[in-house]
């Protein structure tokens, strides 16, 4: 069964638009996470960025208290955030690149250029009982480096696939890259997740990518929830994921 991890960052973004710097506000990303779980989501993803632009510290600590499924903490490999993760003990961390000027995470982590630092963080997380995923572009060198680092998971960056979805030829190229990447990762004993830019239109074709365990989806779900409600948005997405054979 293909699992759904719901990224609640965009709920926090909406809250911060009005209540930034306050110790209260709406909508509450923790309440949203619980609603997603109740609707059948298999996990909750939250990105604690260094600039705290959406998810803030109190959110992740409350999530750790109440989440009953699987808490995935997206994070940069930065000393402050690493220290928080080791205390928080999410079920899994997903290490991502982070740039202050980006709107959302752009591109994958350069594992090849950062093998030593990532290996050290991976070991510290694993020693604390936390699994590690690396958010990477679907290229052979990054997948091989991820295996060398010792990560349990990779998360394939599906942004290029989503960006080119309207162009049949370009879409096919990106889909084949994802298929090849998933096969290579599986051969290297890496578990495969995927995410970025996935929505109700482009998800079905992704069923052709083998060996996937979980899709992490945020913006599309929160956008859909504006008109149909969060529970319905999650239910609709789960329906699109049915029948995946891996």
Phi, psi of 207, rounded to the nearest 5 degrees: -60, -20
Phi, psi of 193, rounded to the nearest 5 degrees: -110, 175
Q: Is 219 a catalytic residue?
A: no
Q: Is 47 a catalytic residue?
A: yes
Q: Is 115 a catalytic residue?
A: no
Residue in 47, 54, 155, 157 annotated catalytic: 47
Distances in whole angstroms, Cα of residue 239 to Cα of each of 134, 152, 233, 236: 27, 27, 10, 5
User: Cα separation of 131 and 97, whole Å?
Assistant: 18
User: Cα separation of 27 and 149, whole Å?
Assistant: 38
Residue in 74, 131, 174, 214 annotated catalytic: 74
User: Cα separation of 208 and 112, whole Å?
Assistant: 27
- Closest to 146 (Cα-Cα) out of 181, 105, 98: 181
Alpha helices in 39-167 (DSSP H): 57-66, 79-88, 115-127, 140-149, 159-163
Name the DSSP class of 204: G
User: Cα separation of 246 and 66, whole Å?
Assistant: 31
Count Cβ atoms within 10 A of the Cβ of residue 156 and give its class: 0-12 exposed, 13-18 middle, 19 or more buried. buried
Residue in 42, 54, 157, 196 annotated catalytic: 196
Question: Which residues are annotated as catalytic?
Answer: 47, 74, 196
């Amino acid at each position: 069964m293909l699992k759904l991890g719901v990224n609640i960052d965009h709920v926090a973004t909406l809250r911060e638009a009005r209540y930034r710097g306050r110790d209260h506000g709406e909508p509450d990303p923790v309440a949203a996470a619980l609603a997603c779980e109740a609707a059948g989501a298999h996990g909750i993803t939250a990105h604690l960025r260094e600039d705290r632009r959406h998810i803030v510290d109190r959110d992740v600590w409350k999530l750790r208290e109440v989440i009953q499924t699987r808490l995935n903490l997206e994070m940069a490999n930065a000393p402050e955030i690493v220290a928080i993760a080791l205390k928080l003990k999410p079920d899994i961390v997903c290490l991502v690149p982070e740039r202050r000027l980006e709107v959302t995470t752009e591109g994958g982590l350069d594992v090849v250029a950062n093998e030593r630092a990532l290996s050290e963080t991976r070991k510290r997380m694993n020693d604390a009982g936390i699994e590690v995923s690396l958010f990477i572009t679907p290229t052979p060198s990054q997948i091989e480096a991820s295996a060398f680092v010792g990560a349990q998971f990779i998360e394939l960056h599906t942004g290029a696939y989503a960006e080119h979805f309207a162009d049949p030829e370009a879409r096919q190229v990106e889909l084949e890259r994802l298929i090849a990447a998933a096969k290579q990762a599986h051969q290297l004993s890496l578990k495969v997740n995927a995410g970025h830019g996935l929505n109700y239109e482009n998800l079905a074709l992704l069923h052709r990518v083998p060996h996937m365990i979980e899709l992490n989806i945020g913006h599309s779900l929160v956008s859909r929830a504006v008109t149909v409600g969060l529970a319905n948005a999650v239910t609709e997405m789960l329906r699109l994921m049915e029948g995946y054979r891996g």
